[in-house]
Structure 1
Amino acid sequence: MSLTGRSVTVRVPATSANLGPGFDTLGLALSVYDEVTVTVRQEPGAFVEIQGVGESVVATDASNLVVRALAHTFEAMGQSVPGVDLVAHNVIPHGRGLGSSGAAVVAGIVAAQGLLEGIVDIDTDTLLRLATELEGHPDNVAPALFGGLTIAWVEEAGPQHKKLLVHRGVSPLILVPQHTLSTKVARSLQPASVPHEDAVFNVSRSALLIAALTQSPELLFAGTEDRLHQSYRASAMPETDRLVTLLRSHGHAAVVSGAGPSVLVLADGPGQRLEAAELVARESKSPWESMLLAVDVKGASVHTSLRDA
């Protein structure tokens, strides 16, 4: 079957990983989306057009991360990689701890899944495995693929996930700074070992956070306490550390979003979320963009169409 003329449009949500104590394990899908349209053409290679975030910065050839993820999927499924035209409408901020690279990986893999529909069946386990191979760890790609709150782990059979529904009272607020931070730099500050009591502390808070997010939002403040990674990375993002400290001193469940430097506040209702946003606008010494979001419950979606070859 020729794929020439087949086109898919993929929509992928932003994500926030860690959520405080759930380091490299917990992730949350958020209602900010990148949208990618991929059309198969007769000529080999890739032509990429970027609109929005990353325009004039993101690669527009075969080295583009979405294109590489698509090619990786075709090759893994034993299929020849086609030539493609790709148009990306990017909204997810880059380098801010909101899963932009994970979203690009997921976009490419899900686009390949859509293009290969009727030729090769790619199940959810395979989607997660391919995404993890490219991203390195599953905590961002799992919620981007499946939506909601995800617990991700790796065992001998490969990466696994469990999706949970978030309590309707949970109201996320993302605070985005103007500066970026490399995930590699943030990870380099992580020690090889931590005190036993800190490990036990985070185990208890991670368990509590699951209960808070799914059943008891009033426990979000206690459930987002962390001793495993945020304090070690604070020196690389002092403004983020100051903002988290400010918000938590006023009773708001604030954490570093992913590797940072954005801040995630998990409010237990719209009123508390608005209070947090107003506090930041009033007392922060540096500018932060406030994004009042919902939890995305669907994850990545794909629409397939057939154009004239």
Structure 2
Amino acid sequence: MTRVIVKIPATSANLGPGFDTLGMALSFYDQYEAEVISSGLEIKIVGEGEADIPTDESNLIFSTLKLVFDRMGKTLPPLRITCHNNIPHGRGMGSSGAAVTGGIMLAAGLLQPEIVLTEQQLLDFATEIEGHPDNVAPALFGGLTIAWKDETGPHHKKLSVHRGISPLVLVPPNQMSTKLARSLQPESVPHTDAVFNVSRSALLVAALTQSPELTFAATEDRLHQNYRASAMPETSRLIEELRAKGHPAVVSGAGPSVLVLEDDPAKRAEAIKFVEREFSTWKALPLAVDFKGASVERQSGSGV
């Protein structure tokens, strides 16, 4: 029997000024397994979301997997799917993007060696299901990604992050709906704010790849964080207090988690101590940048 195991990194999108464009893969993972069985569908959830994630055909990983098989003109075999979920749900760490990416990579593993999906096909499928590529691109390919769409579809450019960057994710106990966060965005913004974010986004790419000492200035934003602040006041207060102390803190994705892109491990330790003292219900995750992205292992009944 064929068995496929995939490992998918958490991600943080936007990174401050790079709204719907920049994303980064982090060293925090979900692992999903799909095994061909004799009949039926079995789905087991372990960890995050085990009490409320559906275990029928409406499950996001399964529905994604099935869509890929359907598009490739193949019949999906009976499966046992096991999800080991570590990425917090509704916290701005790319949990839905990880599920979509996981379903696609499980499909890719099951289709091999008869069909080998290209990087572009992987991104096309993921963007179609997720709606935008800023989270799924780093989940698929790792590192720092710039993602965009044009008339031919979604695209990405992967960049290597400077080894001096020490990411820290601060996770609150409460969730935040991405749909709600997006509903708070205005349809238009002042020209000066648009120019401001263009400059900071360009600077952020330079800071993350070449000059980490510039991350504080590069993480300023006027396009989305202030508009969403009313929906997550504690997140907004934490960011304000961290930035007042010189820490390059931003909303992680749609929130309510906070991403701190430190350029010094000692500064990261200071930020952790501050949060443990002043925001004791929050969880601090000192992480690294994941440079590899999604990985796939395919096994057969007689071994690897």
User: Normalising to structure 1: TM-score of the pair?
Assistant: 0.96
State how far apart, in whole Å, the 1-side matches of 2:220 and 2:134 are.
Answer: 18
- Residue of structure 1 equivalent to 2:270: 275
Counterpart among 109, 133, 148 of residue 138 in structure 1: 133
Matches within 5 A, 1:29-108: 29-44=25-40, 46-108=41-103
> In terms of mean alpha carbon deviation, does 272-281 or 295-304 score higher?
272-281
State how far apart, in whole Å, the 1-side matches of 2:288 and 2:43 are.
Answer: 30
The answer as to 2:283 corresponding to 1:289 is yes
Structure 1: where are the runs of 5+ without partners?
none
Q: CA deviation at 1:156?
A: 1.4
- Residue of structure 2 equivalent to 1:299: 293
- Per-residue Cα deviation, 1:141-182 (whole angstroms, up to 9, x for no partner): 000000000000001111000000000000000000000000
Give the match's secondary structure for 1:16.
Answer: strand
State how far apart, in whole Å, the 1-side matches of 2:277 and 2:34 are.
Answer: 44
Structure 2: where are the runs of 5+ without partners?
none
Aligned residues: 302
Give the match's secondary structure for 1:192.
Answer: coil
State how far apart, in whole Å, the 2-side matches of 1:132 and 1:41 are.
Answer: 29
Matches within 5 A, 1:136-175: 136-175=131-170
State how far apart, in whole Å, the 2-side matches of 1:236 and 1:77 are.
Answer: 41
- Per-residue Cα deviation, 1:241-295 (whole angstroms, up to 9, x for no partner): 00000000001000000000000000002111111111222233x5210000000
- Residue of structure 2 equivalent to 1:14: 10
- Residue of structure 2 equivalent to 1:194: 189
State how far apart, in whole Å, the 2-side matches of 1:101 and 1:164 are.
Answer: 23
State how far apart, in whole Å, the 2-side matches of 1:217 and 1:279 are.
Answer: 22
- Residue of structure 2 equivalent to 1:206: 201
> In terms of mean alpha carbon deviation, does 271-280 or 20-29 score higher?
271-280
State how far apart, in whole Å, the 2-side matches of 1:154 and 1:130 are.
Answer: 13
Q: CA deviation at 1:239?
A: 0.4
Letter in 1 for 2:232: M
- Per-residue Cα deviation, 1:173-208 (whole angstroms, up to 9, x for no partner): 000000000000000000000000000000000000
Give the match's secondary structure for 1:198.
Answer: helix
Letter in 2 for 1:277: I
State how far apart, in whole Å, the 2-side matches of 1:157 and 1:148 are.
Answer: 24
Counterpart among 220, 223, 231 of residue 228 in structure 1: 223
Q: CA deviation at 1:42?
A: 2.9
RMSD, matched Cα: 0.9
State how far apart, in whole Å, the 2-side matches of 1:144 and 1:121 are.
Answer: 19
State how far apart, in whole Å, the 2-side matches of 1:177 and 1:35 are.
Answer: 23
Letter in 2 for 1:303: E
State how far apart, in whole Å, the 2-side matches of 1:307 and 1:291 are.
Answer: 37
Matches within 5 A, 1:172-183: 172-183=167-178
- Residue of structure 1 equivalent to 2:105: 110
